[in-house]
Amino acid sequence: MKSFKYVARDSSGNRKEGHLQASYPNDVVSWLREQGLTPISIKESSVKAAKQKQKRGGRRKRIKSGELAALCWQLNTMTEGGIAITTALQAISDDIENLRLQQILRQILEKVERGQTLSDSISEFPKVFNQLSCAMILAGEASGNLPDALRRLAEYFDNRDKLAKKVKGAMAYPIFVLVFIAIIVIFIMAFVVPRFREIFDQIGGEMPAFTVAFMNVYDILRTYVLHIIGFSVVTVISTVFLAKTKKGHYFFSRLALTLPLMGKILSQAFVATFCKTMSTLLDAGVSVLEVFEIVSTMSSNDVIKSAVTQTKEQIVGGTNLSMSMAQTGFFPNMVVKMMQVGEESGSLPKVLERTAMYYERKVDSTITTVMGLLEPLMIVVVGAIVLIVVLALYLPIFSMSPSAG
């Protein structure tokens, strides 16, 4: 259980503050509603959270999907309770921790108070509120159901945040493994091998072939260590510059999708996001062409962007959605078939929602598989390195033992 600090208003508009023990923020929302209170903000108030807040001070942080999800949930709760959007924005901006988001909310509030719509106001901050956010809010305003649009948007940001964390975790683990192995190798070469080298030089005599080969490799690495570091730095810098060119970016985009297991995770994660986004937007009344315009901005991978753009062009040319997606060669057959079923049954948003859930589970399953493979692989690699070093360093000692006796 966590401790949450809440700020709410009663039916008379009076401000209420307090703390509540709960597992999740949604539990606090439910409890407040049962008490006849309208939530304004809910924040974790643990000692850890307080320390982190003190440490961060007034720094401007990057705005994360989780923060946008919390913002949309708060706006949804307040507008659903009949509170005006200006009052809701004012209350939330007064109590928000992220100074950058607070500043943006206050600017949005000023624009709304001057007569701009919420969708027009947030569209002036494209680095924070993407095209999907603007389209969802606009659809909610047009239909007269802004709270529902905010709820859908909150769910979208929640799902995106969870999926992004899973993918980043899966991508970070192999890097951690490689860094860990590199540290072990550097430690052995810098501290262990030199000591044994001194012992072998003092003892003299002929060493086993395996040890000689190992020492030759060690000498090469020690002699050319600066050259190796320099080459590595030049390679990294060259790769970064190459990735910024059009052809280079496309090459690395394709390479990322063809990596063993990791490429599969990236593809599945995009398909899950793609289906979820389409479902959300279509359900809100956004046109298919506008949906693809929005989706094309959601990935930095050129191969994925190209597939989405090709699909849109095919639709403009008169081809139906499922056939257009099939012709790109990127989308899995199952997704194409589900699109076809959705088109024929007239329930495309629901079908897309289920497809998104299926691929989210596939991402979880693939990540579990990757972790399951990497853990024993790390043990094997580290064990192999240690075995090679032990054999190379102790074989001379074992070979000398009989003669010493």
Please tell us whether the domain made up of 2-158 is placed in CATH 1.20.81.30.
Answer: yes
Nearest to 384 by CA among 185, 229, 223: 185
What predicted TM-score, i.e. pTM, was given to this entire model? 0.65
Q: pLDDT grade, residue 35 (50/70/90)?
A: confident
Residues 6+ apart with CB under 8 A from 142: 285
Per-residue pLDDT of 231-245, as tens digits, reads 999 999 999 999 889
The CATH H-level (homologous superfamily) assignment of domain 159-405 is Type II secretion system (T2SS), domain F (1.20.81.30)
- For residue 70, count CB atoms less than 10 angstroms from its CB and return exposed for 0-12, middle for 13-18, buried for 19 or more: buried
Provide the pLDDT for residue 400: 63
CATH 1.20.81.30, the chain: domain bounds: 2-158, 159-405
Q: What is the mean pLDDT of residues 206-226?
A: 87
Per-residue pLDDT of 19-30, as tens digits, reads 887 777 777 878
Q: Is residue 41 pLDDT above 90, yes or no? A: no
Per-residue pLDDT of 70-82, as tens digits, reads 889 889 888 888 8
Q: Which residues of 254-279 are buried (b: 16+ CB within 10 A; e: fewer)?
A: eebbeeeebebbbbbbbbbbbbbbbb
Report residue 75 as tokens: 């706006």
Provide the pLDDT for residue 32: 83
Cα distance between residue 173 and residue 180, in whole Å? 10
Cα distance between residue 276 and residue 354, in whole Å? 9
